[in-house]
Amino acid sequence: MLYKFKTMAKNIFTKLDEKHICYAVCVAQTSITFRRLGEFTSQDYFIICKSNYRKHYLMEKLNFKVGSLDEKGERDADLYPEKLLNYTLSESEINEFKENNDKYVKVIHNADGRIYELKNKSFLKKYNYDKRKT
């Protein structure tokens, strides 16, 4: 009898962890209020990594992008200091992040959103250390 096993695709977090890539998960929050309709809030989840850290792997294999979109909808690498790479999480990746939230520590929380780092690997410490070296 042959058994067919479902092969589970690795999620973005597993791929980053396997390559020992330091990253942070960001949750950007935007609110808009309409007089008659009330307030609407949207949240965007994305990952940031330094661009000089395994850049080819991040961009070619995992679809990370340099910079962000400007007001014209075009990539603007100048909006990110030292050309951070970003990756927008899908709905399933957002759920994965929420299910494994105990792996992260919230390092920033303000009106614009939140930033989470891995408990055992601080993105900010790595970022500042690399910045001092250059």
- The C-alpha atoms of residue 122 and residue 116 are separated, in whole angstroms, by 9
pLDDT at 130: 59
55 within 8 A of 85, measured Cβ to Cβ:
yes
Q: What is the pLDDT of residue 56?
A: 73
Segment (H or E) for 73 = none
Give the phi and the psi of residue 73 in degrees, each rounded to 5: 80, 15
CB atoms within 10 A of CB 61: 11
Q: What are phi and psi of 106, to 5 degrees?
A: -80, 120
Q: Label residue 57 exposed, middle or buried (CB < 10 Å: 0-12, 13-18, 19+).
A: middle
Structure tokens at 26: 């960001």
Query: What is the value of pTM for the model shown?
Result: 0.74
The C-alpha atoms of residue 89 and residue 97 are separated, in whole angstroms, by 9
Q: Mean of the per-residue pLDDT values for the chain?
A: 78
Compare 22 and 132 and report the one with higher pLDDT.
22
pLDDT at site 90: 93
pLDDT at 68 over 60: no
Q: Does 78 or 43 have the greater pLDDT score?
A: 43
